[in-house]
Amino acid sequence: MSLHRPLGTLSDGENAVELTPETAGWDHTGLRVLLLHPGGVTTFETGDFEAFVLPLSGGCVVEVDGERFELRGRDSVFTRVTDFAYVPRDARVRLSTTDGVEVALPMARCERRLTPKYGPADDVPVEVRGAGSATRQVTNFGIPGVWDHADKLIACELITPDGNWSSYPPHKHDHTCDVVNEEIYYFRIAGRDKITPSREGFGLHRTYTDDGDIDEDVVVRDGDVFLIPRGYHGPCVAAPGYPMYYLNVLAGPGAERSLAFCDDPAHTWIRDTWASQELDPRCPVTTAEGRVD
């Protein structure tokens, strides 16, 4: 079976995406994407998973363990860096919204039960990575060293301006790099206005292994998911005219959360070329204050 899961193939009739370790065929990492209409309320149990509550569009209130967090959110993933919340395992979570919200719940099976915590957008570091046509924005809201209030879960967001390449050079996070991480890519593709997600646009994604067991080159559209159990992944290419966003979710069995990686040695030389190239002035695309342009 392909590791590409187009929009709708992971829907359970209630959630746009319902991806568990069992449906992915691995052990640690999951993702839910749910939509609440104006005035909507939902509750869910985290079980043996910790999670981030990450608004994709709109805002919501998160109530868990007697805590209440108001998440301002954003109009779309292409308009602003959002605030978020961390919710622990073995918790009952209530989400409510006044104006409607689409929210992602990146999840990881974990052992320790931590306390709920609010993540303000103003504290989220925005990194401009690469150079030239490989310039992209990395929004490091849930990575080690920035957000250490998690047991296993790692997550970040990327925005690739239209026509640019990201996740490049191809790299991997598996046992040959002193880390084992299962990784999810959740894509949103902007339409012609470069702000509103739309199925009109598209991008490209590649994942492969040295042994040839995995070798996939796919067209990805808004709402698609790609699973990376192992191997090199990249590039992700945003077609001209259509900026690309993706949410990365990673987790593994290691005692310490880690984003350690190894480049494909055939292409790691690309990094050395960035020193002589200009950054794409379109990056950063967003900050906590809104769009930079």
CA–CA dist 225, 185 (Å, integer): 6
Mean pLDDT over each residue of the chain, to the nearest integer:
97
* Euclidean distance between CA atoms 207 and 172, whole angstroms: 9
Vertex 37: Cα angle to 32 and 39 (nearest 5):
120
What is the reported pLDDT for 228? 97
Q: Which pLDDT value is given to residue 1?
A: 66
pLDDT digits over 94-131, tens only?
999 999 999 999 999 999 999 999 999 999 999 999 99
Check residue 175 and report its DSSP letter. Answer: G
Q: What is the pLDDT of residue 268?
A: 97
pLDDT tens digit string along 6-53?
999 999 988 999 999 999 999 999 999 999 999 999 999 999 999 999
pLDDT attached to residue 196: 98
Distance CA 38, CA 36 (A): 7
- Tens digits of per-residue pLDDT, 57-70? 999 999 999 999 99
Q: Give the pLDDT confidence of 123-182 residue by residue, as tens digits.
A: 999 999 999 999 999 999 999 999 999 999 999 999 999 999 999 999 999 877 878 999
pLDDT for the residue numbered 174: 87
Judge whether 45 and 237 are in contact, CB under 8 Å: no
Domain 4-274 matching CATH 2.60.120.10: the answer reads yes
User: Cα 228–36–242 angle (5° rounding)?
Assistant: 50
- Evaluate the omega torsion of the peptide bond into residue 120 and state whether it is cis, within 30 degrees of 0: no
